[in-house]
Every structure is written in C-alpha cells, then in structure tokens.
Amino acid sequence: MDVDAYLEQLYREGCRNDEAAVSRDGMMLNITPSTGKFLDVLVRDAQPTRILELGTSNGYSTLWLARAAAAVGATVDSVDASRSKVQSAEANLAACSLTETVTLHHGDGGDFLRQSDDDRYDFVFLDSDRSRYQDWSSDLIGVLRFGLLVVDNAVSHAGEMVEFRRTLSQEFGLSVVVLPIGKGQMVVQDAASAGQRTT
C-alpha cells in the first residue's frame, strides 16, 4: 500500500465525514497534512524510542507517527476514548502494514496517564480533549522523559490552552513555543534541550 496515497484518501474522507456529522462525537477532527509532515520530520530528527499519542481518532495522525516511528525503530502507544474510532484506526494501520509499530488503547487519556507510572515516553503528541489538558499536566510531565511534547490546535484554540501553557512554562520551567503549522503546534521541551537545539 502506498502510504502517501492512503493518507491523502483518508484525509479527504475525514473532511467529508466532518462536514456531514451531526455531532462532535461523530467527527474525525484530523490534523492537517502539514501537521502530519511536521510530526514526521520531528520524529525522524529526534529519533525517540517510545511515542505516546493521546487522541487517536480514525488513525490519520497515528499513521504519520507510525511511519516515522518505524523508520527510526520506535514504537507508538495511541489512546482514544471512542471504541469505534480505535477500531477504524486499527483497520487503517493494517491497510498500511503498520500495526506492529502501534499499540492502540481504548480508554480515557487521563486514566492512561495515571496508570503509566512505570512507563516513560520521549515523544508525546497531544490532540485530545483540550478542556482536560490542565488537569493532565502533572501526569503528562510524569510520563515524558524529555523528549518533546507537541500539542495540536495551539493557534486555532489558543484561548483554551492559556492556563495549560502557563503551567508548563511557569510551574514546570519548560520551554514552550508555538509554530504556525496547520492549526498551530505547541512544542514543549526542557530548557536545557531547547538551548542545545538553538546552538
């Protein structure tokens, strides 16, 4: 399967679905293709060993992460509260022969984080329920061995993330930048790593 062609088709299907959906729960709310390319570049450059995605949806973003992860020998855990979306993601990963790279989890993102005491990730992509990010902040930092945290919708829904961004920056002392890619990507890393990347 040509993964690029499959991604293009899946993105178009997601857009059509969202236009016809009668409720938010029925929407795919996929990332933009430019965001997918950005994630691909980040993963290939950072070469993490374990990636966590919170917000699988139909697996569009998961495919971008999985292909890059496979190229650098990493694995992906992806979590979504919708069983039907997890099932769709499973089918889409199988179609692209990427199931061995990804472990899909049906459940609440906050519960998954709290139950991950012994698990550590060096790349986290957050595209889930924005109203809960602030409550998740301590657990997110707890599972992330820096590493990078990337958060979608940082421009399109900036107002919903003001407190979360402030917590990451002021309480945890992390470097936070927002890039105008797709709907806006918040890239978070520890200050020391941020300094190394700019020198």
Sheet strands side by side (includes 121-126): 102-106, 75-80, 50-54, 121-126, 144-151, 185-190, 174-179
Domain that holds residue 116: 31-198
Taking the C-alpha atoms of residue 138 and residue 62, their distance in angstroms, rounded to an integer, is 24
Is residue 4 included in any domain, yes or no?
no
Q: What is the pLDDT of residue 199?
A: 46
**Mean pLDDT per segment of 10 residues, for the chain of length 199 residues?**
94 96 93 98 97 98 98 98 97 98 98 89 97 96 91 98 97 96 97 60
List CB contacts of 162: < 8 A, sequence separation 6 or more.
Answer: none
Is residue 2 included in any domain, yes or no?
no
Is residue 71 included in any domain, yes or no?
yes
136-156: b (≥16 Cβ within 10 Å) or e: bbebbbebbebbbbbbbbbbe
Task: Give the CATH number for residue 36.
Answer: 3.40.50.150
Provide the pairing of β-strand 144-151 with 121-126.
parallel
Is residue 12 included in any domain, yes or no?
no
User: How many domains does one find in the chain?
Assistant: 1
Taking the C-alpha atoms of residue 126 and residue 123, their distance in angstroms, rounded to an integer, is 10
Q: What is the pLDDT of residue 168?
A: 97
